[in-house]
């Protein structure tokens, strides 16, 4: 019985440690009063040293179930160490056509993990700055709890 319990704990610990190995950066910014204005610029900074392997970049979003829209538009700006910039616009669908949340719902909080860029290689080593700005017609989005950015290395299949 003790060996069986030990094995369960060991396997669980191994799974948790393996799943976090590929995370390069993961951070959230809390939204004041849960109101995300079009004037708010959310900034993340990190140093990237790996220019060989591909990376994935995710927008992470937490809203309450009272968020009134089925989507969100986001302007994304990436500032490279050589002062060049990449700007993109993304639409993230938070609900399906039937009104079901696309994220992981727990009580009144919904967590979204939306892929912005897949398998990209950073061209140069150095400090990168990522800016996110909401781009909806509604100038203030209520019930947005926090916004995050996650950078991972893709999990290699054996």
| Per-residue confidence band for 16, with pLDDT thresholds at 50, 70 and 90 | very low
pLDDT score of 30 more than 90:
yes
**Rounded Cα–Cα distance for residues 103 and 38 (Å):** 23
* pLDDT more than 90, % of the chain: 83
> Residue 62 — left, alpha, or beta (φ > 0 → left; ψ -120 to 50 → alpha)?
beta
Phi-psi domain of 152 (left: phi exceeds 0; alpha: psi -120 through 50; beta: other): beta
Q: How confident is the model at residue 157 (pLDDT cuts 50, 70, 90)?
A: low
Q: Give the Cα separation of 54 and 152 in Å (integer).
A: 9
What pTM, to 2 d.p., does this model score? 0.82
Residue 12: which pLDDT band, with cuts at 50, 70 and 90? very low
pLDDT exceeds 80 at position 85: yes
pLDDT mean over 76-103: 96
CATH 2.60.120 corresponds to the domain 23-152:
yes
User: Domain segments of the chain: what residues?
Assistant: 23-152
Is 45 a residue whose pLDDT tops 60? yes
* Beta carbons of 36 and 140 less than 8 angstroms apart: yes
Strand-by-strand arrangement of the 144-152 sheet: 23-30, 144-152, 55-64, 109-120, 104-106
């Amino acid at each position: 019985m003790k060996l069986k319990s030990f094995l369960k704990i060991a396997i669980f610990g191994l799974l948790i440690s393996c799943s976090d190995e590929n995370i390069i950066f993961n951070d959230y910014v809390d939204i004041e009063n849960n109101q995300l204005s079009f004037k708010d610029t959310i900034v993340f900074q990190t140093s990237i040293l790996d220019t060989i392997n591909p990376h994935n970049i995710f927008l992470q979003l937490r809203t309450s179930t009272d968020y009134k829209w089925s989507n969100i538009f986001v302007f994304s700006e990436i500032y490279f160490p050589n002062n060049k910039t990449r700007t993109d616009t993304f639409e993230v669908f938070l609900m399906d056509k039937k009104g079901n949340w696309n994220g992981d719902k727990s009580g009144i909080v919904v967590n979204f993990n939306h892929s912005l860029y897949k398998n990209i290689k950073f061209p140069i080593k150095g400090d990168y700055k990522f800016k996110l700005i909401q781009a909806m017609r509604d100038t203030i989005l209520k019930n947005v709890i926090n916004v995050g950015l996650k950078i991972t290395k893709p999990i290699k299949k054996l």
